[in-house]
Amino acid sequence: MFERIDYYAGDPILGLMEKYSADSNPNKVNLGIGIYYDENGVLPVLDCVKTAEERIADPIAPRPYLPMAGLPGHRKGCQELLFGKDAQILKDGLVATIATIGGSGALKVGAEFIHDWFPQAKCYVSDPTWGNHIAIFEGSDVEVGKYPYYDKANSSIKFDEMIAFFETLNKNDVILLHPCCHNPTGMDLTQAQWDTVLNVVKARELIPFMDIAYQGFGEDMDSDAYAIRKAVEMGLPLFVSNSFSKNLSLYGERVGGLSVVCPTVDETERVFGQLNATVRRIYSSPPSHGGRVVDIVMNDEALHEQWVGEVYAMRDRIKGMRLKLKSVLEAKIPNRNFDYITRQNGMFSFTGLTPEQVERLQTEFGIYMVSNSRMCVAGLNTSNIDYVANAMADVLKD
Ligand code: LMR
């Protein structure tokens, strides 16, 4: 009966995690999945989250179903983080926001919405992008295309090519953008480049869908949201999916949000209703625990301030690792340019290693990175960085 079912080859990122766990090499290093590990190689529980957990645990409360859109405080937390605490569009009620099951859940609900209400739209993703972007939109029967983004030869962005490509798109085509900490390349647009992109979006009446999973890991909470706020300032319709997996270190709780910026209150209500309907038919309503943590941390002024500090500490540690990695590699291979490592933002570095070199790192050294050469810099620490840099130098030299 089930013999005709296709085997699943596994996910290139999540599968790597399983392979790493099964590796008995005592020196193994996990630089695959986008997870922040601290200086001791441990997944941190943020102090602000500990406080929130203590409040949730005392007293232990009943667990009713949440509304389809999730907790109001979770939704408000998403909105203020993305658009700014005093944003006029929030006062005017022009943003439909639902709490979602992580950033992936937000993308899925958004993709379903696009499929249902903009059936002619194609969705264009950066080349390259996070693999699940393509899988999620195609899984909702939205046709996916790629726009030029990363110039491998120069470790830079193909900006002119990208703009020229956007100029060819049709009204209501969706372009999926990474407002900060591009996954997988780590190469972000400057603010001036964002302005140019958004002018094309406006002129060609495209639909920007911004996926922000690393807010706070680039420059700061506000600068990382520049593209989102600029789009709002320009009066553009906008989809934003956001994730708290990384910046609250709440990976397994699956907390995120989907926000749609609309031109009028009536349209906002219609969109909000349809997002609710989409949630109802996929998973009915989100789980409550992670949403309560988000609600508490985002809406308590002191905890929020503590949280921002904790995110910036993670950001700074990653930046320190970039500097160190670059300097060790420069010393080992003086004729090669490693500037890209510190020009990239967020958790990832696109190293430009060939699949064979990535494979050698894994089999000979127990160092795991994604086969497209993406390294999660957040997996480096002072104990493993020399080992990793030396191994990289070895495979690069041969
Ligand atoms: C990643 O890109 O490694 C993370 O977003 C985790 C994932 O689900 O792929």
Q: For residue range 240-283, what is the model confidence (pLDDT) as tens digits?
A: 999 999 999 999 999 999 999 999 999 999 999 999 999 999 99
Radius of gyration of the chain (CA): 21
Strand pairing class (238-243; 207-212): parallel
Ligand 1 atom nearest 11 alpha carbon: 9
Is 126 strand, coil or helix?
strand
User: In which residue are the tokens 């957040």 written?
Assistant: 378
The amino acid sitting at 375 is M
Alpha-carbon span 398 to 393, nearest angstrom: 9
The one catalytic residue among 173, 188, 211, 295: 211
Instruction: Report ipTM (2 d.p.).
Output: 0.97
pTM higher than the cut 0.80: yes
- Closest to 317 (Cα-Cα) out of 36, 25, 13: 36
What does the DSSP 8-state code read for residue 223? G
Residue 122 has phi, psi (to 5 degrees) of -100, 155
- Looking from the CA of residue 376, the nearest atom of ligand 1 is 3
Edge-to-edge, what's the strand order for the sheet holding 174-177?
A: 95-101, 255-261, 238-243, 207-212, 174-177, 123-127, 144-148
> How far is CA 233 from its chain centroid?
23
Distances (CA, A) of 226 to 124, 178, 254, 307: 21, 11, 25, 20
Best probe residue, ligand 1, of 18, 35, 104, 130 (max atoms within 8 Å of C-beta): 130
Helix 47-57 to helix 289-299 angle (10° resolution) is: 120
Cα–Cα distance measured from residue 288 to residue 267, given in angstroms and rounded to the nearest whole number: 28
Provide the 8-state DSSP code for 100: E
Contact 31, 380 (CB under 8 A): yes
Distances (CA, A) of 382 to 41, 246, 322, 323: 10, 21, 11, 12
Q: Cβ < 6 Å from ligand 1: which residues?
A: 13, 33-34, 130, 183
The question of whether 246 is a catalytic residue gets the answer: yes
Distance in Å, CA 268 to ligand 1 centroid: 30
Alpha carbons 104 and 82: distance in angstroms, whole number? 17
- Tell me which residue of 11, 269, 277, 242 sits closest to 105, measured CA to CA: 242
Question: How far is the C-alpha of 131 from the C-alpha of 139, rounded, in Å?
Answer: 12
Neighbours of 301 (CB within 10 A): 7
Nearest CA to ligand 1 atom 2: 34
3-state secondary structure of 242: strand
Active site annotation includes 307: no
Sign for the CA dihedral angle at 96, 228, 91, 51 comes to: positive
d(CA 220, CA 242): 15
CA distance 333 to 156: 21
Q: Active-site residue among 108, 158, 246, 326?
A: 246
Best residue for ligand 1 mutational test, from 101, 132, 255 (most atoms within 8 Å of Cβ)? 132
The series of mean pLDDT values per 10 residues for the chain, 398 residues long, is 95 94 96 97 98 97 97 98 98 98 98 97 98 98 98 95 98 98 98 98 98 98 98 98 98 98 98 98 98 98 98 98 95 93 97 96 97 97 96 90
pLDDT on residue 397: 86
